[in-house]
Structure 1
Amino acid sequence: MDLSSSPTTLTAPQSSTLAVGPTRLTERFGALPPRRKAMLAGGVAAMLALIVASVLWSSRPEYRVLFSNLSDKDGGAIVAQLSKMNVPYRFSEGGGAVLVPADQVHDVRLKLAQAGLPKGSAVGFELMDGARFGTTQFQERLNFQRGLEGELVRSITALSAVEAARVHLAIPNQNGFFRDQQKPSASVLLTLYPGQTLDRAQIAGIVHLVSASVPEMSPRAVSVLDQTGALLSEAQDGSGVTNMLDATQVQHVSRVEQAYVKRILDILEPVIGRDNLRAQVSADIDFSQTESTTEEFRPNQGGQPAAVRSSQTSENIGGAGSGQMVGGVPGAASNQPVAGASAPVNGTAQTMQPMGGAAGAVTSSGRRDAVTNFEVDKTVRVVRAATGTVKRLAVAVVVNHRAGTDKKGQPTSQPLSQEELDKLTALVQESVGFVKERGDTVKVVNAPFRPVEVDTSELPLWKQPQLLEMVRTLAVPLALVALGLAVVFGVIRPVLRDMRKAEELEREKNRLDAVVDDVEELPALTDAGTGGAAGTTPALAAPEELSPSDRRLNEVRDLTRKNPAAVARILRGWVNGTEAE
């Protein structure tokens, strides 16, 4: 009988046999060894712990600085107020800063400001708010001075480089009965942050801030020191004139020097190249202020040498009616009366003349005074010397050797000739306005430049600040992820793999059972072995020593060799999901 034509009903193994339900999982978990059970339970517990830690870490609020650089008194008051407000807080920077959740920073600051916190170590003009009745004038003046010092401290500590400051004001008591009043003075002690410094402009700003806050205080009366005791304000001599340049003068000197350097570079770079030249200029600037006055007197010039400025004339004329003119030698003799006649000793008569004038003349007198003032040719010349004039220039220029190649094509360098150096020196002198009389010097040196070595050694990746910050930020989540992967691949996956192997073995066994069952139902199998009579095929008999599964495998192999068409039809039915007939 042909097996291919025998009507046979075969049933393919249903997929329900592959389904794994809760009961099946429980059975398989119970079938695991105790060590596998412990590993699986530990892995599940670790995964749950990781999930809980991730949730807690992601929900943790971000903290930001509420206040920093607080004194112990203000820090304690702020912490007590935060505890009353039920606001979580932390400390950082060695307890000098208070941190609160980022979403509550501004709200908490406003509430603390309403409560008057932080008060700060410096007390300002709010000290005057607590003035009581009966306060003496001395106490009021002292409180005002303390408040002014506190306000100046707050203003100075607002600078980014200043950590703390103290201000001492010496304000004398003004009295209207004294002609010479004492002038106020001030001292400022600064505590700078590590690595921070103040330039001249900032120091001058602090000096003017203090001097402008106190009436009648001169900037020269303000002294500024740092925490090391170094005097930061400009030193002054006995005349009150500063011996050092202020910030504006220093900037002016720097601008003048840079302008001269730019002139040198502009004229030499086209000749020798930008990378083959270095120049520096040192300018001696005179900032002294001088003023001179000159008066010159010269004779009058022109057609009228005498220019009358003013003229005054006075005249006095008088006379006597005796008919005689008063004359003679002035003095007592002319005022004596005429003497009588007398005989001479020798008997000769002499004629007597009246003294003081001729007889019979009319006596008269007069006086006339004239004063004339003339203009004088005078020239008054006032000269004020300009400040910031250049007293002396010192110019230094370094020129690189001339680059070239030898016969083999190798790069070489050759020094410039003396003639070329002289030409470059002349160009530099003309560009800076060289004046030999005032002591200017220009030096041009030819020297080989050292090749620029590019530092290829970069900072290692693990030392870069950006990477360190990123690692600090992602350390916790990355650790959680790594721990989760270790649990999954080290504990859970091996256990699941063992369970999957057991499931595959069970599934294979079920398939073999189905094949054997289907084969045993074939009627052709019996006919092929007995020739139409019922019986058992001797070829399918298995030795007693084989296991049942091995015996069935041998039966299937024998069937496949003897009737491959029937086995192919069975397999085709399984693949198509239909029953083979």
Structure 2
Amino acid sequence: MGKLQDIFIRLLERWKMLSKGKKIAISSLVIGTITILIYIGISASKPKYSVLFSDLDPKDSGNVVEILKEKKVNYKVQGSSILVPEAQVAPLKMEVLSKVEFTGNSKGFEIFNNDSMVSTDFENQIKYQKALQGEIERMIKAFEEVKESKVILKLPEKDAFAIKQNTNKASAAVSIKLKPGIKDLKTEQTKTIVSLLTGAVENLQKENVHIAVNGMKLATSNLYEKEGEEGLLASNQQDIKNAKEETLKKNVLNVLNPIYGNGVNVAVNVDLNFDAIQTETKDYKQGVVVSEHNIDTKDRNSNSNVTSSPVDNNMSNRAGNSANDNTTEHKESTKNYNVPEVVKKEIQAPGKVEKVSVSVAVDEAVGALDDGSKEKIRSTVASAIGFDEKRGDTISVQGFDFKNNNKDIMDTANEELKKSEMQEKRNKIGMGIGVAITGIIILLGIFLVYRKFNKDQEEDLMDNLIEDSVMPKDTVSFEPIIFEKENEKSHMENEVKKYAQSKPDQVAEIVKSWIAEDER
């Protein structure tokens, strides 16, 4: 306790010795440091805010704010986002969703909740159309990529007394505004929206759905035209190619991993033909008789003399028969054949595999590969991929010294896991460490400045002492001292004594500074 008191007294005495300008500079530095530390402390103690909801309709945002006010929850509104303390985001979101029905300024079938009993059929039809439009708008807004949507339906009129069914087609116009950062909808996403519309609206064909994205781009233009004839789209072709390669790669790894573990890498490249080819073949078989027409004509000319009794035909008596025959015969045959014509049409579906190339790299740390081992691997891989030599398939097997073996990989993974676990702790104490380092730097700066000021003050005191006690040699006049032999040393001692008697405070400070320097 005594040492602390002595240090405080010394500091107080040194403070009194400083000039007015130095006192102002040191005071400003200390006050600024304290202000910075207080600001950092207040900033660190403030709760961190996170987004509760964003991009809401003004009406929905108002409903959310009302609930937050009722629960007396601190919140901030920044643009179209509502922020609350980060720790309360999850429970507040669940509670708000259970109480607020987000409509996005689109009214659905709840429009009939306050329906009057005297509505006409025409009014009900208009309300139904608006409700259906609102429900479809909500459905489209539910997609992650969509920020806003507007749907206009044109429904065919229904007449209860119509004898003939109305054949008019329904149509739909949809305007979609995407979220920032998303430039366009994919083809499959557009088809999904079209499919939902055709399923929700009666008598609506996909050709009558028109979707505009971000104002001026028609997403449904040529969406379904010649889709089957021209083959698959380029994006789908790449997806099919990647899926085929991934399937073959997985088949190869399934048979090699039990043998080599993680010491094997496989790369597969598949060449696919996405052309839609239609082939027509005609084959004529042996004819078959389907009808036959034969004509056989015999012409016989004869002269004969017959005698008979006129008594009775049953009892005729022929005395004799003499003939002179002349016969002509004609034959004609006509056959009709049916020649079978076999027409064979073959349509080659897009995506035919034309060639498969497989490269297998085995870590030599698992075991050196000889020709026999490589041949076994080729045979195994060939069975896994459905190898076809006529197709030009190739299999390459090579042994390599992997730079990162399994142990290194596991060690690296463990290190990354530890780093990720420690990152959160570091973030929590990071600000505290920053404040501490800042404080140390500021205090060190104060100490160095104060030490420099103290050193300058001591030098000023010494200069004053020397100026007061030491005179130039050419102007020095020595006064005789009684009973002592006068010389320069004795004269200096006498002058110092006189200075100490006339200015004891300054001499005391000089002596204290000397003692302090010796203690250091």
User: So what's the TM-score if we normalise by structure 1?
Assistant: 0.45
- Asked which structure has the greater RCO (Cα within 8 Å, sep 6+), the reply is 1
Question: Which has a greater percent of helix?
Answer: 2
Higher Cα radius of gyration: 1
